[in-house]
Structure 1
Amino acid sequence: MPKNIFIKTSILYKEKGLLKFLIYSSVIKEYDFYTLFPNGLNLFIYNNNANKYTYLSADWVKSIDKRFYHIKGNIEIMSPKGSFLKTEEIFWDIKNKRIFNKKYTTISNSDGMMLHAANGIEASEDLKEIRLRNISGTLPIK
């Protein structure tokens, strides 16, 4: 049984007056060792600038001690520089600031690059460093 259940919740977190993240979820269930977002969430992570953020949306999320996240279903991540990632499952290690999976993943950006990783990815949480497994794609030539 959950300790707490929150319905239609927005969570705004600030440090030293600066917005750090904003979460919206229709249902949040808190258990002793984890938090479950059974209907998914929308997450905005701000990086010292209220106009620049990383956006994540997914259909289902499980947070373990707010250090490790298991995320599933229609995942979309957009970086502040416009890189866009789509996949069906991802793991997010907050402590090491890494995301990874072994699922088909697509990454695209505004200059027309589109990459497909058939066997998953490993990346920094801001998508600045990305390692793709079994890659194919389209690169624009200038």
Structure 2
Amino acid sequence: MYKEKGLLKFFIYSPLIKEYTVYTIFPYGLDLFIYNKTITFLSANWVKSIEKNFYHIKGNIKIKNSKGFFLKTDEIFWDRKKKKIFNGKYTMISNSDGTILHAVNGIEASDDLKKIILKNISGTLSM
């Protein structure tokens, strides 16, 4: 658990965490709950954290937030300083309204998924 000013900011569950001087590896993956104004959940099979500001995340990645967004991909990078996630891989995003989008060449988004740029997309939009 990580708290700031007595408020829970995030909670990490991982079966094994290997900490080194400059980076941390979660070789068997993690489940991460981020508490901001909304709650975001991230699950992945492998994660490398560099100085707790930049994350390389791989394998069966699922990101969900309390506003109904769901993102699924196999690799993603998260820059906490810039509050940005990005990749160049196939990514699927769905929303609670039934919208499903497929980005063949990756995604660039704010880490709260409020601003999203999808590259080479197709999908289903609810009317």
| Coordinate RMSD, CA, aligned | 0.7
Q: Taking structure 2 as the reference length, what is the TM-score of the superposition?
A: 0.98
1:38 aligns with 2:27: yes
Matched, 1:16 2:5: yes
Q: Distance in 2 between matches of 1:71 and 1:14?
A: 23
Question: Which one of 67, 84, 95 corresponds to residue 81 of structure 1?
Answer: 67
Which amino acid in structure 2 is aligned with residue 36 of structure 1? Answer: I
CA-CA distance at 1:80 after TM superposition: 2.0
Instruction: Report the structure number with the largest CA radius of gyration.
Output: 1
Equivalent pairs counted in the alignment come to 127
Q: Distance in 1 between matches of 2:90 and 2:84?
A: 17
Gaps of 5+ in 2: none
Residues 1-142 of structure 1 correspond to what in structure 2 (within 5 A)? 12-48=1-37, 52-141=38-127
Give unmatched runs, 5+ long, in structure 1: 1-11
Amino acid at match of 1:24: Y
1:6 aligns with none
The 3-state SS of whatever aligns with 1:66 is coil
Runs of 4+ in 1 over 4 A off after TM superposition: none
